[in-house]
Amino acid sequence: MATNIIADAHILNPTDPNFKKVLSFLDVSAKTIIFLGDTFELLVGNSSFYIKTYRPLWDKVKNLLQQGTTIYYFEGNHDFHLKKLFAKLFPYPNFILVKKHLLLTIQDKKYLLSHGDELFESTYNSLVKSKLFYFLANIFPYSWIRFIYSQISKKSYRPSFDPNKLLQQLSPESADYYILGHLHQKLSFNKLLALPSFKHTNTYLQITDTPNFLESVP
């Protein structure tokens, strides 16, 4: 059975056409599903607003978990501080929340997975991932948090990168493949694989015997 991975879906709201694309992605048969960060444009803290707003997605994830699918959810730089929210939604041992990076063995090969934002220094990241922002996210209405976030996000930027340098940063962890999101670009360089933005390309990575980019979701 396959392991299917998406990154950077950046769902804006339930009416975003991309929301339906993510639901369709979950219909693709897989033993393991990995959300590699930035699944949402903004998902912070444990507000009940998120539970109500994205109920169709949570229900589908819950059904998959009950059927035995293993699901990894990586926090990105747009969706974070999610431990309490997901503890309420998914009290299952086969749902795993990952804050930074994780080494997985898939089909006898080692894969180091990370959203990728941790590889880049960012004023934006230090602000939004602070304890203060977490506190605010849990006491203010979503509309307020959205406004605060929009001001902070002006300090965000699309990172430029050198694949060789990225491999040097990742190489202290020995692996057969290094898989990243965050870059919004499809990349296959030596052992490094970067997923393009699912939002703009519908592309996901499927691992069976080897990793392969698939260009569309049925």
**Between 131 and 47, whose confidence is greater?**
47
39-78 pLDDT, tens digit per residue, is 999 898 888 899 999 999 999 999 999 999 999 999 998 8
Q: Return the pLDDT at 162.
A: 84
Strand partners, 105: 110
Residue appearing with tokens 């897989």: 30
For residue 127, pLDDT over 80 is answered with: no
For residue 12, pLDDT over 80 is answered with: yes
User: Which of 47-51, 79-83, 143-147 shows the lowest mean pLDDT across its residues?
Assistant: 143-147
| Gap between the Cα atoms of 102 and 179, Å rounded | 10
CA 59 from centroid of its chain's CA atoms:
18
**Reported confidence tier of residue 88, pLDDT bands at 50, 70, 90:** very high
**Reported confidence tier of residue 217, pLDDT bands at 50, 70, 90:** low
* Nearest to 76, CA basis, from 27, 6, 140, 146: 6
Mean pLDDT over 110-137 rounds to 77
The CATH architecture one would assign to domain 3-214 is 4-Layer Sandwich (3.60)
161-216 pLDDT, tens digit per residue, is 788 888 888 877 889 999 999 999 999 999 999 999 999 999 999 999 899 999 76
pTM of the predicted model as reported, rounded to 2 decimal places: 0.90
Take residue 132 and report the two structure tokens written for it. 């203060």
For residue 155, pLDDT over 60 is answered with: no
Q: Where are the domains of the chain?
A: 3-214
| Gap between the Cα atoms of 19 and 4, Å rounded | 17
Please count the other Cβ atoms lying within 10 Å of the Cβ belonging to residue 185: 13
Cα separations in angstroms, 127 against 107, 138, 145, 181, 183: 38, 16, 13, 21, 20
